[in-house]
Chain A
Amino acid sequence: MTDELEPVRRSRPDRLLPDDPPDPEVLVREKTRLMSAITGQENAAEHRRSPSIYPRLAYRDELAALDFLTRAFGLVERRESRMEHPDGVLAWLEIGDGVVMIGRAGVGRHGLQSPLEAGAPTAMVLVYVHDIDGHYRRAESQGAQIVMPLEDMFWGDRRYEALDLEGHRWHFAERLSEIRARRPTP
Chain B
Amino acid sequence: MEESDGCVIADSLERPGTFGVIFDRHGSTLLRFLARRVNPAEAEDLLGEVFRIAFERRSTFEQDRDSARPWLYGIAANVVAKHYRSETRRLRAMAKASADRQLAEDPAERAVAAVDASSRWSRVVDAIGTLPEAERQVLLLFAWEELSYEEIALALGVPVGTVRSRLSRGRARLASLALDCDVPVAPCEAGGAR
Q: Give the A-B contact count at a CB cut-off of 8 A.
A: 108
Mask for B162-189, Cβ within 8 A of A = 1, else 0? 0000000001001100100000000000
Say yes or no: A24 contacts B171, CB within 8 Å.
no
Interface flag for A84 (CB, 8 Å)? yes
| List of A residues within 8 angstroms of B16 by Cβ | 38-39
Give the size of the chain A interface in residues (CB under 8 angstroms): 33
**Chain B, Cβ-Cβ closest to A34:** B51
B68 to chain A, nearest CB (A): 14
Say yes or no: A34 contacts B28, CB within 8 Å.
no
Mask for A24-52, Cβ within 8 A of B = 1, else 0? 10110111011101110000000000000
**Chain B, Cβ-Cβ closest to A85:** B32
Say yes or no: A26 contacts B44, CB within 8 Å.
yes
| List of B residues within 8 angstroms of A118 by Cβ | none
Interface positions of B from 28 to 65, Cβ below 8 Å from A? 28-29, 31-32, 35-36, 44, 47-48, 51-52, 55
| Interface-centre pick from A7, A17, A86 (highest chain B CB count, 10 A) | A7
Say yes or no: A30 contacts B27, CB within 8 Å.
yes
Say yes or no: B175 contacts A11, CB within 8 Å.
no
A1 to chain B, nearest CB (A): 6
Q: In the complex, A38→B20 CA distance in Å?
A: 9
| Interface-centre pick from A8, A11, A13 (highest chain B CB count, 10 A) | A11
Of B29, B94, B102, the residue contacting A13 (CB under 8 A) is B94
**Chain A, Cβ-Cβ closest to B144:** A12
Of A7, A30, A82, the residue contacting B51 (CB under 8 A) is A30
Cβ-closest 4 pairs across A and B? A11-B98, A4-B175, A79-B24, A7-B124
